[in-house]
C-alpha cells in the first residue's frame, strides 16, 4: 500500500470503528481534512469553536462508553481544545484528540500558529504523542486507542506535523486496531477481607462514582445493595448507576446532598467506596468524613487508593470484576435496624424542593421536564446552580443517562456534549439543562445543533447572573455581589432564532406546561427559555472547607410529629447501637 500520513490516519480511525469526528480545519491539518473528505465511513461534524468540538466528542464518548475523536489545527486550534481535554482527564473520559502541527522543519521557530501542543497537553492528558514520521502513525494511532480505553480511561492527544500528514509511506499490512488491556489482577484474599468487613458491619454504606459506570458495574452494585441491604449513595459522576427510586438509593452525597444522605454517612461504620476518588465536593472536610467508618476502596487506578483516605482494604481492579468475585462472598442480611434508621433520617431530613409543583421554579422545571420524558432521555448539564438542581431531583435511572462536567466543572460543556450524545443516539431525546452564564460560553454551537438537526432540547434557566457565584457572594462574602449579576439582558430568543433554532419561551407562554410538552415532543433542536428568580439558591449547602455535617439551608418545616429520641439528640446510629 502507498498512502499519505493523512490517509493512514483516516483509514486507521475507520478501522477502529470511528463513524463520527468533530473538529475544525485550519492551515496545519488541511491534509488530514482532505483525506477525511474521501472517507465514506466517517461523518464529520463541524463545530464552531474547537472547545465545542472537544465536548461534542466527549458527548459521544460519555453516552456510548467508547473512545471518540476530535480534530483541531495547530496554535489556537490546539489551545482552544485543551479545556475539553482537561475536562476529559478529570472525568476519565476516553478521548482521542488529533491536532495539526506546523511542519517538522519549522517546529521551534515560532512559526505561524505554532505552539508547543505536546508540552502544553502533558498535564491534561493520560498520554500524548508528537508524531515524527508517517510510519510511526501505524503504531501511534492503535496505541492511542489502547491507552484511552485501558484501565482508568482518559484523553490522548496526537500532534501531527503537516509534513508527516503529507509524507507518502509504502507499507505491507495494517496494524490490529487498538483495544483495551485486561484489567489488573487482584488478590482473592483482598476480596475475602472486604467481604469479611461487609459481613460484620452493622451500618455499611456503598459510595459509588463514575468508575462504576465506566466499568459497566451498575447492575452488580444494585445486587450488592439488595443482597446485603446496604444504603447506596452516588457522586455527581455516579448518578444513574442506581435508580433514584431504588429502595436502597440515598441520593447524591456531599456539598449539595440531601441532609439525610450526609447524616447517614456520618453514622456508617463501613464505607464501601467503588470507582470513586474522595473528591472534596463529595467528602467535605476530609478529617470529618465518615468519622466512624472503616473503608473498603475498590478502584482500577492504584494511585487513588490511600490518596485522600487510607483504606482498610484496598483493591486495585476493575469494579465489575471485583464485584463479581465479591458478591457470592457477601452474606444476605436484612440489617433491619440500620435500614429503619436510614428511613427515619429520610423522613426527618429529606431534600426540600420548594416550588416543585410550580412551573417556573428551578425544581418545578426539572421535575416537569422529567415527567414529560421517559427513561430513554439523555440528560446533559452545564455547570452551576441548574446543574445541582438537576442532580438533586432529576429521576435518573440508568448509567450513561446523565452527562455532566464533574471534575473540571466546565461551563459551556452542556450544549456540545448534548450534540455529541444525540449524534451517538439519534433516536433518543437529549435534554441539556443550562444556565445563561454557561450557555454563553459555547453559544456558537447552537448553529452546529441546527446544522446537524440533532434532537437536542436546551432548557435554559435564565437568572441573568452567574448563579452559583451570586449565591456564594450572598452567603459567604457579606452579600457583596460583584461581577456575578449581569447588567445587560440577553435576548436568548433572538439569538437562537438568529442561529436558525426553534425557540419556546415559558415566560410568555399562556400555559408553560403545555409549551414545555410541545417543545420536548417536537423533533429537532430547540431552545426553551425559562426565566428564574436570581435569589433562588441551591440548598442545602456545605460551605467550602466545612464538614459535610455542617450544612446550611434546606432545613424544611418543623415536624408535626415526634421523631425518635436518638434522632432528636443528634445521636448517630453507631453510637446508639454500639
Please choose, out of 17-25, 120-128, 212-220, 357-365, the segment that lies near another protein by the rule CB under 8 A.
Answer: 120-128
- Secondary structure of 410-439 in HEC code, one letter for each residue: CCCCHHHHHHHHHHHCCCCCEEEEEEHHHH
Measured over all CA atoms, what is the biggest interatomic distance in the chain, rounded to whole angstroms? 82
DSSP string, 11-48: HHHHHTT--EEEE---GGGHHHHHHHTT-SS-EEEE-S
Shortest distance, position 123 Cβ to another protein, whole Å: 6
Q: Give me the residues paired with residue 461 across strands.
A: 435, 530
- Secondary structure of 365-409 in HEC code, one letter for each residue: HHHHHHHHCCCCCEEEECCCHHHHHHHHHCCCCCCCCEECCCCCC
Shortest distance, position 103 Cβ to another protein, whole Å: 17
**3-state secondary structure at position 294:** strand
**Which residue, 286 or 347, has its beta carbon nearer to another protein?**
286
Distance between first and last Cα of the chain: 73
127 binds another protein per the rule CB under 8 A = yes
**Which residue, 138 or 439, has its beta carbon nearer to another protein?**
138
Distance CA 501, CA 509 (A): 18
118 binds another protein per the rule CB under 8 A = yes
Torsion of CA 401, 343, 252, 484, to 10 degrees: 120
Q: Please, what is the angle between helix 76-90 and helix 50-64, to 10°?
A: 30
Shortest distance, position 310 Cβ to another protein, whole Å: 6
122 binds another protein per the rule CB under 8 A = yes
Distance CA 166, CA 313 (A): 53
Q: How many residues does the chain have?
A: 578
**Which residue, 286 or 559, has its beta carbon nearer to another protein?**
286
119 binds another protein per the rule CB under 8 A = yes
Of the residues 111, 244, 302, 327, which one makes contact with another protein according to CB under 8 A = 302
CA gyration radius, the chain: 25
Beta strand 2-4 pairing with 168-170: antiparallel
**Which residue, 301 or 485, has its beta carbon nearer to another protein?**
301
Give the distance, in angstroms, between the CA of residue 14 and the centroid of all CA atoms in the same chain. 27
**Which residue, 196 or 280, has its beta carbon nearer to another protein?**
280
Cell 466546565 identifies what position?
410
Locate 175 and state its grid cell: 496494524
Contact 154, 126 (CB under 8 A): yes
Please choose, out of 126-134, 162-170, 318-326, 545-553, the segment that lies near another protein by the rule CB under 8 A.
Answer: 126-134
Q: Per the omega criterion (within 30 degrees of 0), is the bond before 540 cis? A: yes
303 binds another protein per the rule CB under 8 A = yes
Please choose, out of 27-35, 242-250, 299-307, 489-497, the segment that lies near another protein by the rule CB under 8 A.
Answer: 299-307
Q: Which of residues 210-229 bind another protein (CB under 8 A)?
A: none
Give the distance, in angstroms, between the CA of residue 482 and the centroid of all CA atoms in the same chain. 29
301 binds another protein per the rule CB under 8 A = yes
564 binds another protein per the rule CB under 8 A = no
**Which residue, 270 or 501, has its beta carbon nearer to another protein?**
270
Beta strand 68-72 pairing with 95-101: parallel
128 binds another protein per the rule CB under 8 A = yes
Shortest distance, position 397 Cβ to another protein, whole Å: 34
147 binds another protein per the rule CB under 8 A = yes
Please choose, out of 55-63, 116-124, 436-444, 522-530, the segment that lies near another protein by the rule CB under 8 A.
Answer: 116-124
Shortest distance, position 268 Cβ to another protein, whole Å: 17
308 binds another protein per the rule CB under 8 A = yes
307 binds another protein per the rule CB under 8 A = yes
Of the residues 105, 179, 187, 286, which one makes contact with another protein according to CB under 8 A = 286
Shortest distance, position 160 Cβ to another protein, whole Å: 15
Please choose, out of 1-9, 125-133, 428-436, 559-567, the segment that lies near another protein by the rule CB under 8 A.
Answer: 125-133
Contact 145, 178 (CB under 8 A): yes
Distance CA 428, CA 374 (A): 10
Shortest distance, position 448 Cβ to another protein, whole Å: 33
Contact 389, 538 (CB under 8 A): yes
306 binds another protein per the rule CB under 8 A = yes
Please choose, out of 32-40, 81-89, 114-122, 223-231, the segment that lies near another protein by the rule CB under 8 A.
Answer: 114-122
Of the residues 109, 139, 200, 310, which one makes contact with another protein according to CB under 8 A = 310
292 binds another protein per the rule CB under 8 A = no
428 binds another protein per the rule CB under 8 A = no
Beta strand 526-531 pairing with 502-505: parallel
**Which residue, 304 or 382, has its beta carbon nearer to another protein?**
304
- Chain contacts with another protein (rule: CB under 8 A): 118-119, 122-123, 126-128, 130, 147, 286-287, 301-303, 306-310
Amino acid at each position: 500500500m502507498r498512502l499519505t500520513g493523512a490517509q493512514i490516519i483516516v483509514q486507521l480511525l475507520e478501522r477502529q470503528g470511528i463513524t463520527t469526528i468533530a473538529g475544525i480545519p485550519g492551515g496545519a491539518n488541511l491534509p488530514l481534512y482532505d483525506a477525511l473528505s474521501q472517507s465514506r465511513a466517517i461523518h464529520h461534524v463541524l463545530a464552531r469553536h474547537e472547545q465545542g468540538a472537544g465536548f461534542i466528542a466527549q458527548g459521544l464518548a460519555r453516552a456510548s462508553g467508547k473512545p471518540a475523536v476530535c480534530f483541531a489545527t495547530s496554535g489556537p486550534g490546539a489551545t482552544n481544545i485543551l479545556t475539553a481535554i482537561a475536562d476529559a482527564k478529570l472525568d476519565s473520559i476516553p478521548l482521542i484528540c488529533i491536532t495539526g502541527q506546523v511542519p517538522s522543519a519549522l517546529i521551534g521557530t515560532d512559526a505561524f500558529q505554532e505552539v508547543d501542543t505536546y508540552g502544553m497537553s502533558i498535564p491534561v492528558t493520560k498520554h500524548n504523542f508528537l508524531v515524527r514520521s508517517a510510519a510511526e502513525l501505524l503504531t501511534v494511532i492503535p496505541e492511542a486507542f489502547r491507552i484511552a480505553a485501558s484501565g482508568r480511561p482518559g484523553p490522548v492527544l496526537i500532534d501531527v506535523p503537516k509534513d508527516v500528514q503529507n509524507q507518502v509511506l509504502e507499507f505491507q499490512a495494517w496494524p490490529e486496531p487498538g483495544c483495551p488491556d485486561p484489567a489488573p489482577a487482584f488478590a482473592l484474599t483482598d476480596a475475602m477481607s472486604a467481604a469479611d468487613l461487609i459481613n460484620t458491619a452493622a451500618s455499611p454504606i456503598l459510595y459509588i462514582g463514575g468508575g462504576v459506570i465506566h466499568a459497566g458495574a451498575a447492575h452488580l452494585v444494585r445486587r450488592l445493595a439488595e443482597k446485603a441491604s446496604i444504603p447506596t449513595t452516588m457522586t455527581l459522576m455516579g448518578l444513574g448507576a442506581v435508580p433514584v427510586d431504588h429502595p436502597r438509593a440515598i441520593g447524591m452525597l456531599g456539598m449539595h446532598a440531601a441532609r439525610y444522605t450526609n447524616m447517614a454517612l456520618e453514622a456508617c461504620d463501613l464505607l464501601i467506596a467503588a470507582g470513586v476518588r474522595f473528591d472534596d465536593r463529595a467528602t467535605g472536610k476530609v478529617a470529618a468524613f465518615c468519622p466512624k467508618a472503616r473503608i473498603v476502596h475498590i478502584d482500577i487506578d492504584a494511585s487513588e487508593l490511600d490518596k485522600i483516605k487510607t483504606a482498610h482494604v484496598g483493591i486495585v481492579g476493575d469494579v465489575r470484576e471485583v464485584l463479581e468475585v465479591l458478591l457470592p462472598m457477601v452474606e444476605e442480611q436484612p440489617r433491619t435496624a440500620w435500614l429503619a434508621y436510614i428511613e427515619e433520617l429520610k423522613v426527618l431530613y429529606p431534600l426540600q424542593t420548594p416550588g416543585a409543583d410550580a412551573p417556573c421554579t428551578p425544581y418545578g422545571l426539572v421535575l416537569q421536564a422529567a415527567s414529560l420524558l421517559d427513561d430513554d432521555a439523555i440528560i446533559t448539564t452545564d455547570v452551576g446552580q441548574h446543574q445541582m438542581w438537576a442532580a438533586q431531583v432529576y429521576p435518573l435511572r440508568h448509567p450513561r443517562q446523565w452527562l455532566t462536567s464533574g471534575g473540571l466543572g466546565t461551563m459551556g460543556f452542556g450544549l456540545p456534549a448534548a450534540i455529541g450524545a444525540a449524534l451517538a443516539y439519534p433516536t433518543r431525546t437529549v435534554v441539556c439543562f443550562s444556565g445563561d452564564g454557561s450557555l454563553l460560553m459555547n453559544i456558537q454551537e447552537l448553529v452546529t445543533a441546527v446544522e446537524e438537526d440533532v434532537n437536542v432540547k436546551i432548557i435554559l434557566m435564565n437568572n441573568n447572573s452567574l448563579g452559583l457565584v451570586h449565591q456564594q457572594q450572598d452567603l459567604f462574602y457579606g452579600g457583596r455581589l460583584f461581577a456575578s449579576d449581569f447588567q445587560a439582558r440577553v435576548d436568548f430568543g433572538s439569538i437562537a432564532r438568529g442561529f436558525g433554532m426553534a425557540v419556546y419561551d415559558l415566560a410568555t407562554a399562556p400555559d408553560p406546561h403545555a409549551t414545555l410538552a410541545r417543545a420536548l415532543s417536537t423533533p429537532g433542536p430547540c431552545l426553551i427559555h425559562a426565566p428564574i428568580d436570581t435569589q433562588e439558591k441551591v440548598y442545602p449547602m456545605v460551605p467550602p472547607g466545612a464538614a459535610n455535617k455542617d450544612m446550611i439551608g434546606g432545613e424544611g418545616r418543623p415536624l408535626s410529629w415526634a421523631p425518635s429520641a436518638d434522632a432528636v439528640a443528634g445521636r448517630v446510629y453507631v453510637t446508639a447501637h454500639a
